[in-house]
Amino acid sequence: MKVNTFIVGAPKAGTTSLHHYLNQHTDVSMSSVKEPNFFSSKEVESLFYNSKCIDDSNDYHKLFSKEKRQIRGEASVSYLFYENVPKRIYDYNSEAKFIIMLREPIERAFSHYLMDCRLGFCSEKLEDIIANPQSYPQYFQQYLELGNYYSQIKRYQDIFEKEQLLVIFYEDFKTNTEKVMNRVFSFLEIEQQEIDLSIKNPFLSPSNTLIYKLYKFNIIRKGVKTIMPERLLSLIRSKYFSAKSKPMLSKATEQQLKVFYKSDVFQLEKLLNTDLARWNIK
């Protein structure tokens, strides 16, 4: 059975939580690796994240339960941005369904930037990245360009039928999760079931200086996850990581980003026939 459901982004817009929630449904099998990047492996492998992509079809299909389920899904957020991905997925399964999660682009950009700083992928100032995109092309792409949603969604609309696409706004997903999940179940044509809606991916920051420095090394993070049982990992998180208020974006930088996104938001409103005044970017 082919994969028939894709959560295609955007990054930092609730895709991890949605993947987790859907995987609880008895008719759903989500991939054991949340972001296999199978259809974007060529693009993702060139990024600074040093991500291990699944590029073999057999390995890709092994990520899913052997049990027969109505839905086989995955959540590679890179699928939304890269131009050739929609056609690759169409060639694989033209009847697939897509859930596109969007977050107010300035919040999304800053959240993505903070995550990468916390994980040791970026040590540059966001203001420098915005001012000098030619000096930091990949950072500029990941933090700013990924929030230009209009052309990304239009590529999917140009290839797939309207009924195959569901757009979810992060703000709705966060404030009324149960209602949005019922929309998702209806879209996927599966029965509504009660699931655990505990928040995934809270903003956690290491509370110990040594832990903070070690946490920046990807090889250490992956090694710890590999050798330690989940119960012990949960204990470590509770002891050495604390939920903190996120840093604030400066007013000047926020205004720059409003100018950057204004035109795209205007086009997106027309494309989706929706009012995005709540983003306060126009």
Dist. CA 268–CA 276, nearest whole Å: 9
Residue 199: pLDDT band with limits 50, 70, 90: low
pLDDT at 9 exceeding the cut of 90: no
Residue 255: inside a domain:
no
Residue 258: inside a domain:
no
Amino acid at 89: I
Give the model's pLDDT for residue 187.
98
Residue 222: inside a domain:
no
Q: How many domains does the chain have?
A: 1
Residue 90: inside a domain:
yes
Give the model's pLDDT for residue 117.
92
pTM to 2 decimal places? 0.84
CATH number of the domain bearing residue 95: 3.40.50.300
Query: Is the preceding omega at residue 10 within 30 degrees of 0, hence cis?
Result: yes
Q: What is the mean pLDDT of residues 222-236?
A: 54
- 41-57 pLDDT, tens digit per residue, is 999 998 988 888 999 99
User: Which H/E stretch holds residue 275?
Assistant: none
Residue 244: inside a domain:
no
Give the model's pLDDT for residue 44.
94
Residue 242: inside a domain:
no
Residue 111 vs residue 233, higher pLDDT: 111
- 239-252 pLDDT, tens digit per residue, is 544 555 668 899 99
Residues 76/89, Cβ–Cβ less than 8 Å:
no
Residue 200: pLDDT band with limits 50, 70, 90: low
- 258-272 pLDDT, tens digit per residue, is 999 999 999 999 999
Residue written as tokens 């990949």? 138
Helix, strand, coil percent content, the chain, rounded in steps of 5: 50, 10, 40
* Nearest in space to 188 (alpha carbons), one of 33, 66, 76, 30: 30
Residue 136: inside a domain:
no
* Nearest in space to 21 (alpha carbons), one of 183, 223, 169: 183
Give the model's pLDDT for residue 216.
43
Residue 191, domain extent:
5-104+148-201+266-279
Residue written as tokens 């990941």? 142
Residues 143/109, Cβ–Cβ less than 8 Å:
yes
* Nearest in space to 51 (alpha carbons), one of 213, 202, 220, 222: 222
Residue 212: inside a domain:
no
Dist. CA 64–CA 118, nearest whole Å: 31
Residues 120/217, Cβ–Cβ less than 8 Å:
yes
Give the model's pLDDT for residue 48.
86
Give the model's pLDDT for residue 166.
98
State residue 280 phi and psi, 5-degree precision: 55, 45
Give the model's pLDDT for residue 50.
83
* Nearest in space to 93 (alpha carbons), one of 101, 81, 85: 85
pLDDT at 123 exceeding the cut of 80: yes
Give the model's pLDDT for residue 67.
85
Burial of 56 (0-12, 13-18, 19+ CB in 10 A): exposed
- CA-CA distances (angstroms) from residue 277 to 68, 258, 267, 269? 43, 13, 13, 9
Give the model's pLDDT for residue 206.
52
